[in-house]
A and B are shown apart, each in its own frame.
Chain A
Amino acid sequence: MSALGEGAAPVAPGRLSGLFATLGHARYVIGGNPVTGFAFGLLGLLVICAIFGPMLAPYDPLMSDTLAKLQPPSAKHWFGTDALGRDILSRVIVAARLDLTIAVASVALVFAFGGLAGIAAGFFGGWTDRIVGRIADTIMAFPLFVLAMGIVAALGNTVTNIVIATAIINFPLYARIARAEASVRREAGYVMAARLSGNSEWRIALTTIMPNILPIMMVQMSLTMGYAILNAAGLSFIGLGVRPPTPEWGIMVAEGSGSIISGEWWIALFPGVALMLAVFCFNLIGDGLRDIVDPQRRT
């Protein structure tokens, strides 16, 4: 439980100073931990690639040039070219948008559904709690990546379904955290106050409980983001979801996997490194955010 979240939410006028305090603390944590600063820099780079990717890419990511195929990195093609002569640097840059979109969309989806279900379960208890718990347990009974494979195979092989599958396998995590955080606040003083002033239970859950557990959920979002990217890339590596020739990191590694035995390392290496850096960056930010939100759990 974070002292910060508790103090900031119930009193509205204190919020602004609370925000400044948080920002100040954030700057302090980032300043004290250069790794987190580095991670935020990396995130900035990723976001720039995702937004302006097609403009930044030196070549058309889909244009193949059979004369220049399988070329190692050079001044002309910094990351080399693949078996069809496409420029790998351009493909890696352009792919950032798709990879990040999949991750953001699935995390947002599970944040909405898992978070709400968890709040309802923790706040109302009773049969709501039992149903949500049962659903979470059933999902957890599967090895998660295998379940995601099954879902995408059954729903159909599209990017949307990768987003849905990734959201579903993360559902238990979000539901459980939200449930635990909501249930400890069920009888908190400010919840009692809200109840006494005549708010309905749903209103309390959404306007009083939810803002209070938001910081903890945000940390979770950042930590799951890396996992969501890995999961989506894994699915597309085995041929689910994203279809060639669409540039996407997982599928690019898969395309390069055949050439690695014959020594063309650059086709798989660069998208793989991009993938790794993206996941690394979200994990570091998650750890950094946790330090800001919940100083007690610092490791």
Chain B
Amino acid sequence: MLKVLFGRILTTIPALIGVVVVSFLLTRVLPGDTAAYFAGPAATPQAIQEVKQKLGLDKPLPEQFTRYVGDLVRGDLGQSLTTGQPVLADLKSRLPASAELTLFGLILSLIIAVPLGIVAAVKQGSMIDHACRAIATAGVSLPVFFTGLLLVYLFYFIWQVSPAPLGRLDVFASAPPTVTGLYLVDSLIARDGEAFRSSLAQLLLPGVTLAIFALAPIARITRASMLAVLSMDFVRTARASGLPASKVIMIYAFRNAMLPVITTLGMVFSFLLGANVLVEKVFAWPGVGSYAVEALIASDFAPVQGFVLAMAILYIALNLLIDLSYRLIDPRLGATT
């Protein structure tokens, strides 16, 4: 198992190299003065010169690349002009907020979409099946920022059941002591009911927005894969042997149907990490996405580049995780490698 793990980690290396090369090329080969990019719009010629020195832009490209990789290895992603902090520190302090939001949205959508897909497949052609198809078609057509705004209007303005869409906690609550950085988890650890309630209330709308977005692909693939498995011989045999329907569906069919669902999670993560940016902007969520958007608007390039790189590395890691869990669920895969 350890060998498999190691081998699989090795296969991410080409992707990592590709990602680093692209993020390097994005700034160097493009038209315009790279130093001016990083120095920002309000920079003096002297500041531009300084940046040029620091990035080694007077050196040939391969040398610049080595220097860039060296900086990355040391964790130096440059300085943010807007916050005045190193980009890595900014990203680190804001990542938990984004992680909490994304995970919450993903778990929520899994809780809804997987049972929905299963029921739609088992009762093919029923009302639930049609509802599942309608949700899947509508879900992919909804712009995620629009869903968010619609929810804000309904739950905050009309029904007034939700707090103002401004950040992770309402103004009266204080943040729980940091353990994981996820407020929900931290407030549970600290047994702070008030902070838990407040952070859950803030998280609910953006989380639901993301969940609606991720619902469609998960429900669609669960349904399709359940349908395929349910028509297989071993399911027929299990039924013929007189096993109760619940056991046939949940144990025999579902476990086999999970594999394509988990594969789709990779794509869902790609969507979610992008949608996160938009949702964070709508709900003024203090995560990495809104950090990158603020930097973009201020033409502050280092944070944007750091953000793109960090998200790509995170995404590669998530795909690795998905792949490994795939092997845990399906022992056949472990045996062949």
Contact = CB atoms under 8 A, between A and B. Distances in A.
Interface of A: 134, 137-138, 141-151, 153-156, 226, 230, 233-234, 237-240, 250, 253-254, 256-257, 260-263, 265, 268-269, 272, 275-276, 279-280, 283-284, 299
B166 to A, nearest CB: 9
Contact of B273 (A143, A240, A262): A143
Contacts of A226: 140-141
B27 to A, nearest CB: 6
B149 A260 contact: yes
A155 B273 CA distance: 22
A149 B142 contact: no
B312 A143 contact: yes
B22 A261 contact: no
9 contacts: A138-B21, A150-B305, A153-B305, A154-B27, A234-B143, A253-B145, A260-B149, A261-B164, A275-B146
B19 interface: yes
Interface string B140-172: 111111100110110011000000110000000
Interface stretch (B80-88, B184-192, B296-304): B296-304
Contacts of B293: 238-239
Nearest to A146: B311
Given A142-B22, A142-B308, A280-B141, A153 B301 contact: yes
A177 to B, nearest CB: 15
B140 to A, nearest CB: 6
Interface in B118-152: 137-138, 140-146, 149-150, 152
A145 B146 contact: no
Contacts of A279: 140-141, 143
A276 B292 CA distance: 26
Contact of B157 (A138, A156, A260): A260
Nearest to B22: A138
A150 B26 CA distance: 8
A166 B65 CA distance: 27
Given A146-B274, A149-B296, A138 B19 contact: yes
Nearest to B297: A239
Given A141-B16, A142-B22, 17 more contacts: A142-B19, A142-B308, A143-B271, A143-B273, A144-B274, A145-B277, A149-B308, A154-B26, A154-B37, A156-B32, A253-B146, A261-B152, A261-B156, A269-B150, A276-B141, A280-B137, A280-B141
Contacts of B149: 253, 256-257, 260, 268, 272
B316 interface: yes
Contacts of B334: none
B143 A233 contact: yes
A276 B164 contact: no
A237 B290 CA distance: 12
Interface string B16-59: 10110111001100111000010000000000000000000000
Interface string B281-294: 11000000000110
Closest 6 CB pairs of A and B: A145-B274, A138-B18, A150-B308, A143-B273, A272-B146, A280-B141
Contacts of A134: 14, 18
B143 A153 contact: no
Contact of B165 (A138, A261, A275): A261
A142 B311 contact: yes
A265 B315 contact: no
A24 B137 CA distance: 26
B126 to A, nearest CB: 16
B158 to A, nearest CB: 8
A15 to B, nearest CB: 34
B275 interface: yes
Nearest to A238: B293
A260 B149 CA distance: 7
Contacts of B21: 138
Given A149-B308, A276-B142, A237 B153 contact: no
A272 B104 CA distance: 25
Contacts of B304: 149-150, 153
A180 to B, nearest CB: 17
Contact of B308 (A147, A233, A256, A299): A147
B278 interface: yes
B254 interface: no
A91 to B, nearest CB: 16
Contacts of A148: 274
Interface in B67-125: none
B146 A141 contact: no
A142 B143 contact: no
Contacts of B23: 150
- Residue from A155, A263, A265 whose CB has the most chain B CB atoms within 10 Å: A265
A35 to B, nearest CB: 9
- Residue from B23, B140, B269 whose CB has the most chain A CB atoms within 10 Å: B140
A223 to B, nearest CB: 10
